[in-house]
Chain A
């Protein structure tokens, strides 16, 4: 069951924001309530009763206590919640960096919650683009080489790699910084390199855990513009953030509390509630 605090009010203004393409609560509910059933490919992410527990020397920490999350292709979703609510844990599961103790996770219609390490590595390489708070670029490699990295593991030839990496850097307006190393770039530029790297494999989802956490507000806005541009081109984006005004850039806002989804709103409803 997806807890939902608001109804399905259709707002005319939403048509211009892309919210008209959002999945409805009813659609999502129908999918969650069919355990074991493979969703159609249109539903990029489907989790049913996802649980993740950490054993801290006898004391069990329940980071996720049964998360049902359904995301359709082309959605732009923000995940919010207080510190320790399980946002990063959920992102790690969605990003196939971690596996749940319990529950199902379907990515693009494929059950990935029980896959082996190497199979998950392949899924990460093909389906997922990561953007981290701390950028996580290789410090000694140039921007171009950092962006090439996912293609190296995809087995793409060197020429093709260079071509696609240049293209991706072009998309984030960094063509003139290709040969710079991370320490020769500003925070905003580094994050744009990371976005280019996340996009280079044409992933089905772009995952960002606090992408603006290390940036000032002006640079954050810049990065949000990049995300908005990608979303409008049809890229599925899932972003974790603390800041309501950053979350307000997404079309849908999921709030976690104590390892459970507390609310799942359209942007307008969320903004109204937050008084933005």
Chain B
């Protein structure tokens, strides 16, 4: 019997018993629904991490050259820590050498950062994230202003005490006022606010709007790095593919500059957003594993119900099977008829589950901070899982139907 014919037959069978079919499919519907919801939420988080977290905190297509990794995955052993602290600090000379090796098209900025108390005449002292850097930093991080201006290359060069502040800094220290032109004191020095960053929001509860960004050559660097060293050089490559090349150039030139023999490991770190993302990938794996265990139970129960209902269908339609066999249906024809029927049934359940799962993900995204993003592959997977469950569940009933003796089947009332 042609495949299309079999599906048509299966659909008409389902149509005849809508309510019964629906209850039969409840397990598959619920299983697929949770599968889609969980995958969508995990996928949403992962997009969020890759786009927001990686782009905002680390920057797009960037790596940083620093003394030791800023983001550590898992526990770092004492020995590793001792090795980290034996490493030489990074100074302007290192940065100059590293910069000299960067391929054309790359953009870079030094980044010194710490948490420090700030105060103004309008608000109580409060901790802010202080960043002493260079003008290109704003480009690398895609930080835009809603008000005022960035500091100019001249101001950067001269170390003029000016700062660009985040929205929370503005609302705390200059409540109800225009912050531009007003003064903010940090570490005993006074800075003039010249720009206001647009709202960045937060990543996993960490606010990105409590930043104060000023020229690296200003007195802000005394707050961040009293020893006069540099935390990091942030480098942005024009494309993702070029990150590797840029990193290798820096590694090579730094090893030469520091006269490291080939056997010695690097005594500096080149860190990409991959480090942070690999940490998240681990988390994602666990979430998916846990999140699919529940749907899996639903699917197993669903398969059992479908198998049961197919056994009933075979019993109820024994006479039909007899008629078909008398008219020339082979075992294979009967087998595929019932397999297609149970697969179609199950795929219908999966389709309903996909719809409900997307709705559930949207609801979860609306009422909780979890983001959701429906991945096309998860829909394809759900349909495939649906068909698979149907075929597995239909195997035994269908083979029983195929093995029926035509005379016995025909005699059934």
Contact = CB atoms under 8 A, between A and B. Distances in A.
Interface of A: 92, 95, 97-98, 117-118, 121-122, 124-126, 130, 132, 136-138, 140, 149-150, 152-154, 158, 197, 201
B327 A124 contact: yes
Given A92-B407, A140-B16, A97 B330 contact: no
A153 B5 contact: no
A149 B12 CA distance: 16
Nearest to A98: B407
B7 to A, nearest CB: 14
Contacts of B5: 152, 158
Contacts of A118: 330-332
A137 B325 CA distance: 13
A77 B407 CA distance: 22
- Which of A98, A132, A138 has the most C-beta atoms of chain B within 10 angstroms of its own C-beta? A138
B320 A138 contact: yes
Nearest to A126: B328
A124 B326 contact: yes
- By size class, the interface of chain B is 20 to 34
Contact of B323 (A126, A136, A154): A136
Contacts of B1: 152-153
Contact of B328 (A122, A138, A140): A122
B406 interface: yes
Contacts, number: 59
B341 to A, nearest CB: 14
A150 B327 CA distance: 5
A12 B324 CA distance: 45
Nearest to A198: B327
A153 B327 contact: yes
B329 interface: yes
B329 to A, nearest CB: 5
A140 B320 CA distance: 10
A150 B331 contact: no
B326 A130 contact: yes
A152 B406 CA distance: 18
Given A138-B320, A140-B12, A130 B407 contact: no
A140 B15 CA distance: 12
B54 to A, nearest CB: 55
A97 B319 contact: no
A149 B333 CA distance: 12
Contacts of B327: 124-125, 130, 149-150, 153, 197
B401 to A, nearest CB: 14
B410 interface: yes
A201 B328 CA distance: 11
Contacts of B330: 117-118, 121-122, 153
B328 to A, nearest CB: 2
B328 A153 contact: yes
A125 B328 CA distance: 4
- Which of B323, B333, B410 has the most C-beta atoms of chain A within 10 angstroms of its own C-beta? B323
Contact of A95 (B16, B320, B324, B326): B326
7 contacts: A92-B407, A97-B407, A97-B410, A117-B331, A121-B330, A150-B327, A153-B333
A152 B327 CA distance: 10
Contacts of A136: 319, 322-323, 326, 410
Interface in B303-345: 319-320, 322-333
Nearest to B317: A138
Closest 8 CB pairs of A and B: A125-B328, A153-B328, A121-B330, A150-B327, A118-B330, A97-B406, A136-B323, A124-B328
B409 to A, nearest CB: 10
Interface in B117-165: none
Nearest to B406: A97
A150 B1 CA distance: 10
B405 to A, nearest CB: 8
A98 B322 CA distance: 12
A132 B2 CA distance: 27
Nearest to B325: A121
